[in-house]
Amino acid sequence: MMMPGMDGRRFLSECRADPCCAALQIVVVTAGRATDVEDLNVQAIVPKPFDLNELVETVLRLAPA
């Protein structure tokens, strides 16, 4: 959720406000605690350090058929 220039919450807010991005499936990869991100209204949260296979499986699960 920490990024240069803009934090993750602001990014998500701006993304959701943009009609081109509003319907995107969003996966947050974060070192933050689950309680810090559980209210983000995202499709998945993958904690750091993450297992690459878990991340890939998460993305594939959310991908349209």
pLDDT truncated to tens, each residue of the chain (65 aa)?
A: 778 888 888 988 998 899 998 888 999 898 877 666 667 888 888 989 999 999 999 999 998 87
Sign of CA dihedral 10, 54, 52, 21: negative
Note the pLDDT of residue 41: 82
pTM, to two decimals: 0.75
Query: What token pair was written down for 34?
Result: 């689950």
Q: Specify the pairing of strand 44-47 against strand 27-30.
A: parallel
Note the pLDDT of residue 52: 96
The tally of CA atoms less than 13 A away on the side-chain side of residue 25 is 10
Note the pLDDT of residue 49: 93
